[in-house]
Every structure is written in C-alpha cells, then in structure tokens.
C-alpha cells in the first residue's frame, strides 16, 4: 500500500500533522498508532483521570533505569498508547511554556522557531474559550481550551496566599507575562476532555485520503539508497510494508521516536553494530539530550471538609455522578486543579523556574489512590532542569522496551532549585490566607527542615513528570538529529515532529507545544507559510 505521507504515532503532534496534511485532498495520508481506539469513558470524563492512571490502560507503561541520585529508584513512565497518545491520558493542563523558550531555540541556530515564529501556530490550533488577548490567543482553531474557574475555597486561599507571599496575580499565565499565580486553563470543553484525537481526527475520519490505522506497531523505517521509502508495521500479528511516495514523519515522542530511529539503523553506528543492527546513518545524537521535569508533592491536611475528599461519600459521590451525566458539570467535569503559580526559585533567576499546581485532594505519590482524609497538595515541579539523560536500546527486538535513563539531579543545580521550590511552597502555605484551613503538614512533614533533610526527602520521593523531550534534537551541531525543518540529517524523506526535537525543554507542560510542532511541521512539509 502506498501513501504520500506516513505518520508514525497518533499523539498530540501526529494528530495535528495528519489533519493538516490531509486537508490537501490530492495527498494520501496514513496515520499509524500502536494503541487502540479512545472509547474508554474514563478518557473523556476529566474526573476519570485517577482511575485512568490507576488502571495503566492505554499506555506503554515504561519504567526508567535506576536513578542514581534518587536512591537508585526505578520510576514509572506512562506514555500514551491510544488514539490521541498522551493527550488522551494526561492531566489536561493547557500550558504553552514561555516566549523565551522558543527564542532560546532560535538563538541556538534554529531559524523559524522564535516565539514570533511559533505564535501563529499556537493561535491556529486554539479555540481559547476564556477569551484573552486576540493578539496572543486563537479563537477558531480545533483545540478547545476552557477555564474551570476558581471556586473551591482552598484554591481561592492559594491565590491570596501567593499574593501575600509576594507573587502577583496573573489572569493568564500563557499570555503576555508568565510569572505569578492565577487560574488553570484546561483541555476540556463542555465537561469533556479535548484530546488531539477529538480536535483533529474524529471530525475528519470520513476524509477519503486519511487512513487512520490502530493497533499498528511500526517495527522499522525502510531506507533505500539513503532515503526513507516507507515503514514495516505489525498489524494483527502480521508484518507488512507500507510505502511512502513523499515522506515518513515520526511523531512517537521523546522515547519512541529515537527508539525507532535506532531500530532502523539511524544512530550511533558503533553502538548499533554491537547490537547486530546494520547502521545506515551515523547520528550519535539520537537518544541523547533527554530532558524531563522532576516533581513531587507538598501535602497539607485541612481542618474543614472542603477538599474533594468529600465526594468519596456514597451520597455526594452519587450526586456528583448524576450532575456529570446530566449536566456535564460538577467535580467529575474537573481534574481537581483550579489554580497554578509560576515563580522564581531565587531572586537572580530571570524567569520562573518553579511551577506549583494546587491539587484539591490528597493522593499518594504514585497517584494511584486517594489518602483517606481532607487536605490538599502542591505539585512542585522544577521546569528548567539542567540534567541530561539518554534513551538507548536494550536489544534489537522492536517489542522490547528501550532503556530510559534521565540521570535526574546529575547536575547539582537542579537539587538547589528543587530545594528552594519546596521552601517557597511552604512559605505560601504558611500565609494568613490558609489560617482558617491549615492542619498538619503531612509531607515533607515537620521533621524535615534542614537543607540535608529536604535533599534526602527529594531523593526518596521525587518522580518523573512525563514531559520527555530532546532526544532527536533540532540544530546544526554534530549532536543534532534534525535540522530546523525537522529533516533527519543524512536521510532523505524522513522527519521527526514531536517533543523529541526540542533542543531545550520548555518551561511548562508539553502537550500544547507538541501540537504546535505538529501544526508547524505540516507547513514545513507543504512548504507554505502559516498565513
């Protein structure tokens, strides 16, 4: 079977790219996804996030290599394996990163990737329901973004406490300014998750030139005479070759895209040869430059029954379910996050490097269950990590999981930033706004006070934040994998378009930046401007 374009991976970037390329009815597009359909009702109900995470469904369920600086712990790394990819199983937080993230990419030699260059693609994708500045937000795109509002008294207290601690109120942390505390925006509309599949694929499945194939695990990129000509895919236990007359585009994300390149002989030639893989292009940077956010929770008990734990009771739980089924409103229409703060870990830092997301319930650190009491917690995330890791192959078997070694905290600056982030979170929780509600600090707890004690707590409790990036770095140096047009160096007809191309990780969540990359990749491939 032949197509003009074969896209590997139906995640945030892949769905956006498939939609835009198939707008040209003259071009045949095949979108391949190893996972299945997104019919699970827990995917579409925002309040179903917890059972979705607990089930492990719709995910590759990778684990990390033992992390030396985290007491040799092995971390859970769920990655989307379903139509919509991570956008179908993530926390639904809308976050672009900051303008400086993209200006930094351009300064590294990636022409066309400054904030001014990428802003039109964010706007083209967005249907930003809160309104906002029309110069900064789009209001007619396929991706619907809403604002649940700040209703819970704990969320209101958080915003007040941030101001009392010296952090300004910011009504749009994805707008003109990043720093401050304000309401959360979500990939939710009318009480339902708005995944990339919902936005870009489902309304257009009837396009005769768009072939979406689920349960299709790509085993290898087919390369002939230095050019990608197709892929080998396993469907229903059978292997078959699909040919691309135009291009093959990888949208598998920060783990799967470099894995597939290496399985196809594109990577460090000596390492591939040792695994018995015939090298077709020596690109030592494939799988290197791995970046991800590290996070943990500061947990606080409350003295009033105002957290989302109240919905655990049979009566209130039944009322919440009925409210959602009938009106698409109530706690099941929300993820339990209403407020967020972006702050600087030290006065000399020029841009926010700590993100605090308030969660209106207490969960265990693995997010697999609620703690049986009222309280809240802050998700503390260091959004500008200095540590770098790598993705490598465990074996030449395409079914084998790769080795993912983040090397978290291998750069000592990250520990300093994390420690300061916890101190700042405690300072916010200690403000007068929380006086009516504040109970005991449950984690780290009153026994953890000195720098050494905080560092030990971080090593024992921090976890991955599932924002893998950088492993197919965009650039022009010897370690780069793709150029500024996302073309794989040394191989014709092959591009990568997902978070793996980020030379540096954005200072926030990665779903919306991945969508932007898919949008921009379509114009690069079709050689048109964003207009």
| CA pseudo-torsion sign 31, 36, 37, 43 | negative
pLDDT of residue 290: 98
Q: pLDDT tens across 66-125, in order?
A: 999 999 999 999 999 999 999 999 999 999 999 999 999 999 999 999 999 999 999 999
CB 408 within 8 A of CB 417: no
Contacts of 454 (CB under 8 A, 6+ apart): 419, 422, 423, 444, 448
The domain locations on the chain are 1-59+78-145+186-291+468-531, 150-183+294-382+409-461
CATH code 3.40.50.10490 for 150-183+294-382+409-461: no
Q: Is 493 left (phi over 0), alpha (psi -120 to 50) or beta?
A: left
pLDDT of residue 531: 45
Alpha helices in 165-252 (DSSP H): 196
pLDDT of residue 311: 67
CA distance 211 to 139: 28
CB 235 within 8 A of CB 215: yes
| Cα angle 93, 97, 99; round to 5 | 150
* pLDDT tens for each residue of the chain, 531 residues long: 799 999 999 999 999 999 999 999 999 999 999 999 999 988 888 877 767 776 778 999 999 999 999 999 999 999 999 999 999 999 999 999 999 999 999 999 999 999 999 999 999 999 999 988 889 999 999 999 999 899 999 999 999 999 999 999 999 999 989 999 999 999 999 889 999 999 999 999 999 999 999 999 999 999 999 999 999 999 999 999 999 999 999 999 999 999 999 999 999 999 999 999 999 999 999 999 999 999 999 999 999 988 876 766 555 556 666 666 666 666 666 677 999 999 999 888 999 999 999 999 898 765 556 788 899 999 999 999 999 999 999 999 999 999 999 999 999 999 999 999 999 999 999 999 999 999 999 999 999 999 999 999 999 999 999 999 999 999 999 999 999 999 999 999 999 999 999 999 999 999 999 999 999 999 999 986 554
| Cα angle 226, 228, 230; round to 5 | 145
Q: pLDDT tens across 324-352, in order?
A: 666 666 666 667 799 999 999 988 899 99
If one counts every other C-beta atom within 10 angstroms of the C-beta of residue 32, the result is: 26
Instruction: Return the structure tokens found at 95.
Output: 């976050």
- Please tell me which residue in 19, 374, 379, 467 is annotated as part of the active site: 467
CB 154 within 8 A of CB 338: no
C-alpha 108 chain-centroid distance = 23
Instruction: Return the structure tokens found at 310.
Output: 């109240």
Q: Report which of 517, 516, 512, 519 is spatially closest to residue 92, judged by C-alpha positions.
A: 512
CA distance 15 to 8: 10
3-state DSSP assignment of residue 282: strand
E strand or H helix at 153, and its extent? helix 153-164
Q: Is the peptide bond before 415 cis (omega within 30 degrees of 0)?
A: no
CB 127 within 8 A of CB 145: yes
3-state DSSP assignment of residue 466: coil
pLDDT of residue 333: 66
CA distance 356 to 427: 12
3-state DSSP assignment of residue 49: helix
pLDDT of residue 493: 97
pLDDT of residue 444: 97
Instruction: Return the structure tokens found at 5.
Output: 């374009």
44 a catalytic residue: no
pLDDT of residue 261: 98
CB 419 within 8 A of CB 425: no
3-state DSSP assignment of residue 367: coil
Contacts of 61 (CB under 8 A, 6+ apart): 76, 77, 78, 79
| Cα angle 354, 355, 360; round to 5 | 140
pLDDT of residue 365: 63
CATH of 1-59+78-145+186-291+468-531, one of 3.50.50.60, 3.40.50.2000, 3.40.50.300, 3.10.180.10: 3.50.50.60
């Amino acid at each position: 079977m032949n197509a003009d374009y074969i896209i590997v991976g139906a995640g945030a970037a892949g769905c956006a790219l498939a939609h835009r390329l198939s707008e040209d009815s003259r071009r045949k597009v095949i979108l391949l996804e190893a996972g299945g359909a997104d019919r699970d009702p827990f995917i579409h109900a925002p309040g179903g996030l917890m059972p979705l995470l607990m089930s492990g469904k719709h995910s590759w369920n990778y684990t990390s290599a033992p992390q030396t600086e985290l007491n040799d712990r092995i971390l859970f790394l769920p990655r989307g394996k379903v139509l919509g990819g991570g956008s179908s199983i993530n926390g639904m937080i809308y976050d672009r990163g900051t303008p400086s993230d993209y200006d930094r990419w351009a300064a590294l030699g990636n022409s066309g990737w400054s904030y001014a260059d990428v802003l039109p693609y964010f706007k083209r994708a967005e249907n930003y329901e809160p309104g906002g500045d029309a110069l900064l937000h789009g209001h007619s795109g396929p991706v619907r973004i809403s604002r649940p509002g700040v209703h819970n008294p704990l969320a209101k207290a958080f915003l007040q406490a941030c101001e009392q601690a010296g952090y300004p109120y910011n009504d749009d942390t994805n707008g003109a300014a990043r720093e401050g505390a304000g309401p959360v925006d979500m990939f939710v509309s009318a009480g339902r998750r708005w995944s990339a599949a919902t936005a870009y694929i489902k309304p257009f499945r009837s396009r005769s030139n768009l072939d979406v194939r689920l349960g299709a695990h790509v085993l290898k990129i087919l390369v002939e005479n230095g050019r990608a000509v197709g892929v080998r895919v396993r469907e229903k236990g059978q292997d078959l070759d699909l040919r691309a007359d135009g291009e093959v585009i990888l949208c598998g994300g920060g783990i799967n895209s470099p894995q597939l390149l290496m399985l196809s002989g594109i990577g460090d030639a000596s390492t591939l040869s040792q695994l018995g893989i015939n090298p077709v292009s020596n690109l030592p940077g494939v799988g290197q430059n791995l970046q991800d956010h590290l996070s943990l929770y500061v947990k606080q008990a409350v003295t009033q029954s105002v957290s989302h734990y109240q919905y655990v009771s049979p009566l209130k739980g039944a009322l919440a379910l009925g409210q959602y089924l009938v009106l698409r409103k109530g706690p099941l229409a929300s993820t339990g996050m209403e407020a967020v703060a972006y702050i600087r870990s030290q006065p000399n830092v020029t841009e926010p490097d700590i993100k605090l997301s308030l969660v209106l319930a207490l969960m265990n650190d693995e997010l697999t269950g609620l703690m049986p009491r009222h309280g809240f917690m802050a998700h503390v995330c260091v959004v500008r990590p200095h540590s770098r890791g790598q993705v490598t192959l465990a074996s030449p078997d395409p079914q084998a999981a790769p080795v993912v070694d983040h090397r978290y905290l291998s750069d000592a600056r990250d520990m300093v930033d994390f420690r300061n982030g916890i101190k700042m979170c405690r300072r916010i929780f200690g403000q007068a706004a929380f006086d009516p509600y504040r109970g005991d600090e449950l984690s780290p707890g009153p026994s953890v006070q000195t720098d050494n004690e905080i560092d030990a707590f971080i090593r024992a409790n921090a976890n991955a934040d599932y924002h893998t990036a950088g492993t197919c770095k965009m650039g022009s140096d010897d370690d780069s994998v793709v150029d500024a047009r996302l073309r794989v160096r040394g191989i014709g007809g092959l591009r990568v378009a997902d978070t793996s191309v980020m030379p540096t990780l954005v200072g926030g969540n990665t779903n919306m930046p991945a969508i932007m990359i898919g949008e921009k990749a379509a114009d690069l491939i079709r050689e048109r401007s964003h207009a």
